[in-house]
């Protein structure tokens, strides 16, 4: 039975579920996932309401990924047994490889893909993770968190405290600038095109439609990995096929904004 202003609804039998907003809901949820950690053998869990983190610390990325995949397979069985579905959307289920910049460079050479799967689906790798309001970088820095907080404060000052932050995150803005400059170089719309020398993969070596990708420069040092030619190529290759096939700079910018929104 519900009461709104002067209207009273007819009583209906509740066969399952709990009223939205009731104190019983969170309690039932905690009881429901209380045995989640039993499914895991070596990894550990951090629970906070409906935010759950699975983590493991190891000496090598191979060790970490193997143990993580083994436990995620067991976790997938638990979800299936309890009739739950994992939200695999970007920003909902992700993994981050933490460590110093030097150690990560050794454990995961640039361009190398790390495969983490659960329920037969690949988990998206992210360079940072927002947990309980704190943004943690993969190389254990928090500078992006400070800048992002500053952007959100500016948004509230300009548009009001209750306004939703519709600005594109600063990290995404930086990547957009790199992608746009790379696009200009590829299509000879920038004076940097001749000196950066971006080139596409040989058509004879195409696999699964990767002919739109650029050749990743071979570098041996950390400074080489920080060059625009290397970073621009790496970022461009991660874009969708639709973006890579675009020829108009104006349309590329428009689609790129939607891609990062």
Query: Per residue in 29-58, pLDDT tens?
Result: 888 888 888 888 999 888 877 788 888 888
Strand partners, 46: 53
Note whether 86 and 93 are within 8 A (CB).
yes
Nearest one of 80, 213, 227, 187 to 72, comparing CA atoms:
80
> 109-113, 196-200, 209-213: which has the highest mean pLDDT?
196-200
In whole angstroms, what is the distance from residue 71 CA to residue 53 CA? 13
Cα 181 off chain centre by: 23
User: What is the chain's mean pLDDT, rounded?
Assistant: 78
Helix (H, G, I), strand (E, B) or coil at 122: strand
Lowest average pLDDT, out of 50-64, 157-171, 206-220, 226-240, goes to: 157-171
Q: List, for residues 53-68, the tens digit of each pLDDT value.
A: 888 888 888 888 899 9
In degrees and rounded to multiples of 5, residue 59 shows phi and psi of: -85, -30
Domain extent listing, the chain: 23-135, 139-167, 169-260
In degrees and rounded to multiples of 5, residue 129 shows phi and psi of: -140, 135
Structure tokens at 37: 């950690």
In whole angstroms, what is the distance from residue 49 CA to residue 133 CA? 14
CB under 8 A, 24+ apart: contacts of 170-176: 170/144, 171/127, 171/128, 171/144, 172/260, 173/260, 175/235, 175/260, 176/256, 176/257, 176/260
Q: List, for residues 93-152, the tens digit of each pLDDT value.
A: 888 887 776 776 666 666 567 788 888 888 888 877 777 666 666 655 555 556 666 666
Is pLDDT of 193 > 80?
A: no
- pLDDT for 138: 65
In whole angstroms, what is the distance from residue 261 CA to residue 258 CA? 5
CA distances from 104 to 96, 99, 137 (A): 11, 6, 12
């Amino acid at each position: 039975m519900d009461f709104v202003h002067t209207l009273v609804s007819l009583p209906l039998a509740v066969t399952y579920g709990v009223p939205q907003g009731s104190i019983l809901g969170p309690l039932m949820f905690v009881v429901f996932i209380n045995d989640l950690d039993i499914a895991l053998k070596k990894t550990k869990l951090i629970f906070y309401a409906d935010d759950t983190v699975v983590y493991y610390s190891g000496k090598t990325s191979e060790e970490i990924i193997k143990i993580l995949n083994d436990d995620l397979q067991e976790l997938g069985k638990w979800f299936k047994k309890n009739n739950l579905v994992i939200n695999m959307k970007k920003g909902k289920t992700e993994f981050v490889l933490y460590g110093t910049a030097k150690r990560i460079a050794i454990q995961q050479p640039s361009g190398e893909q790390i495969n983490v799967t659960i329920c037969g689906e690949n988990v998206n790798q992210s360079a940072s993770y927002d947990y309980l309001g704190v943004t943690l970088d993969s190389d254990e820095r928090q500078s992006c968190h400070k800048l992002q907080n500053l952007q959100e404060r500016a948004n509230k000052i300009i548009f009001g405290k209750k306004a939703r932050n519709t600005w594109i995150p600063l990290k995404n803005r930086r990547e957009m600038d790199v992608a746009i400059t790379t696009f200009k170089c590829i299509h000879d719309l920038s004076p940097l095109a001749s000196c950066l020398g971006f080139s596409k993969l040989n058509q004879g070596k195409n696999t699964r439609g990767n002919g739109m990708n650029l050749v990743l420069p071979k570098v041996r040092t950390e400074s080489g990995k920080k060059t625009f030619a290397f970073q621009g190529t790496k970022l461009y290759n991660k874009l969708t096929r639709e973006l890579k096939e675009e020829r108009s700079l104006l349309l590329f910018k428009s689609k790129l904004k939607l891609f990062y929104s």
